[in-house]
Amino acid sequence: MADAKGFKPDVDIRVSEYRIGAIGAGMIMAECHLAAYKEAGFPVVAIASRTRANAVKVAERWGIPKIHETPEDLITDPSIDIVDLAFPPDQQPALIRAALKEPHIKAILAQKPLALSLDEARKLRDEAGAAGKTLSVNQNMRYDQSMQVLKQILDKGELGPIVLATIDMRAIPHWQTFLEGFDRLTLANMSVHHLDVLRFLFGDPEEIYTATRSDPRTTFEHKDGITVSTIKFPNNVLAVSMEDVWAGPREEGFDSEFYIKWRVEGTDGVAHGTIGWPNGAVSTLTYASKKTTAGKWVTPTWETMWFPHAFIGVMEQLQYAVKHGETPALNVADNVKTMALVEAGYRSMNEGRAIKLSEIAI
């Protein structure tokens, strides 16, 4: 551990006993979920994917003992305690519903977005509640190290009342092919990270205005390419989240600049930093406070990264909730509120006006 100056950039592993069944064998599962679980000592006992050959390859890499022919077969395996889903949002709800029916399944970790619509997300929340099952959603940016430390700074009041917060992304996501058939792109699949983490930091928003234009690089039809959202939170907090998925030409002879930068300004201090994901680097944070640093800049440091280490926190909070019969931090009811914010952003885009969250039924 590097010098975090009294902060905790990563969670403690309090519970690690539940047997995980992994569904999906793509990049996010192979490079993030399973790498994190191996480091944390979380037992992954089975895997399944749409393509068995991919599941075999990932199982061999991470020493997973059992390979199921289909995701449905894995869900019915009585040795599984927690189903960990890394599947497209159009196919994920059916697998969640299958897991809700199995008595041996104690919990489900779903990907975000939870579903393709707010209405479907609400149904999944209610069905999980009726089944008495714990459903958690993988909003992993909350466990990025800079976001964890920033939250601790805010909770201590070191920046005073917050005035303005910004997230500025210049990066090119790898749009998975299944997205080509949907009518929602950046806001639902990339901005959702930033909108959710702003809720994590500042509470439930009151209003959002989202403007968008198409991305010149994305060849399939879409509306929300480059997105800019202005969000009002309680206590007069104003936030702006921009997702520039164009980020300039990316071609031979052109040096592109990719980053995610964030900044939070309060009446008593300022914090700013970067999210390391676009460049495979460690996230950063620097802050100055009239209250605690005499206005001098302080830079806590760490060696862990958003990808893959944040995924330890995501699975740990779920295991802890199952062990103690508690609601997980990343619970489905809270995620429905993030889905409502995304829905309000799309309504804002379509209607050309700011949307109050009170207009969106959750």
Residues 6+ apart with CB under 8 A from 221: none
Strands (E), the chain: 20-23, 44-48, 66-67, 82-85, 107-110, 134-137, 162-170, 207-213, 226-233, 237-244, 259-266, 269-275, 284-289, 355-356
As a whole number of angstroms, the distance between CA 239 and CA 38 comes to 37
**Residues 214-269: pLDDT tens digits?**
999 999 999 999 999 999 999 999 999 999 999 999 888 888 899 999 999 999 99
Distance set, CA 344 to CA 16, 102, 120, 141, 242 (Å): 37, 34, 15, 21, 16
Is pLDDT above 60 for 110? yes
The radius of gyration computed from the CA coordinates of the chain, to the nearest angstrom, equals 20
182: exposed, middle or buried (Cβ count in 10 Å: 0-12, 13-18, 19+): middle
d(CA 89, CA 72): 16
Q: How far apart are CA 347 and CA 242, in angstroms?
A: 17
**pLDDT computed for residue 252 by the predictor:** 80
**Average pLDDT over every residue of 170-199:** 94
Span 307-362, pLDDT tens digits: 999 999 999 999 999 999 999 999 999 999 999 999 999 999 999 999 999 999 99
What average pLDDT does this structure show over 138-164? 98
Residue with the larger pLDDT of the pair 3 and 277:
277
SS3 of residue 161 by DSSP:
coil
Give the model confidence (pLDDT) of 46-66 as tens digits: 999 999 999 999 999 999 999
Q: What are the beta bridge partners of residue 82?
A: 20, 107
Contacts for 113 with CB less than 8 Å, ≥ 6 apart: 89, 121, 188, 189, 192, 339, 342
Letter for the amino acid at 146? S
Q: How far apart are CA 263 and CA 273, in angstroms?
A: 7
Predicted local confidence at residue 256, as pLDDT? 82
Count of other CB atoms within 10 angstroms of residue 106: 20
pLDDT attached to residue 73: 98
Task: Please give the mean pLDDT across all residues of the chain.
Answer: 96
| Res 255: pLDDT | 84
CATH architecture of 141-306+339-359: 2-Layer Sandwich (3.30)
Structure tokens at 246: 């164009």
Place of tokens 């005073």: 160
Cβ-Cβ contacts under 8 Å for 6 (sequence gap 6 or more): 300
Residues of the chain with CATH 3.40.50.720: 20-138+312-328
Q: What is the DSSP string of 102-132?
A: -TT--EEEE-SSSSSSHHHHHHHHHHHHHHT
Please determine, for residue 2, whether its predicted confidence score (pLDDT) is greater than 80.
no
Checking if the pLDDT of 40 tops 70, the result is yes
The CATH number given to 20-138+312-328 is 3.40.50.720
Q: Quote the strand ranges of 138-206, DSSP E.
A: 162-170
Cis peptide before 308 (omega within 30 of 0): yes
Q: How far apart are CA 143 and CA 153, in angstroms?
A: 15
Structure tokens at 32: 């993030």
As annotated, the residues of the chain forming the CATH 3.30.360.10 domain(s) are 141-306+339-359
For the stretch 14-25, pLDDT in tens is 999 999 999 999
- Sheet with 82-85: list strands edge to edge: 66-67, 44-48, 20-23, 82-85, 107-110, 134-137
Task: With beta carbons less than 8 A apart as the criterion, state whether 269 and 290 touch.
Answer: yes
Nearest of 214, 197, 213 to residue 205 by alpha carbon: 197
**3-state SS of the chain: helix, strand, coil percent to 5?**
35, 20, 40
pLDDT for 185 equals 96
Q: What is the pLDDT of residue 204?
A: 98
Residue 1 has pLDDT above 60, yes or no: no
Helix (H, G, I), strand (E, B) or coil at 347: helix
Q: Of 72, 62, 73, 74, which Cα lies nearest the Cα of 35?
A: 62
**303: CB partners within 8 A, 6+ apart:** 1, 2, 282
Whether this prediction's pTM lies above 0.85 is answered by yes
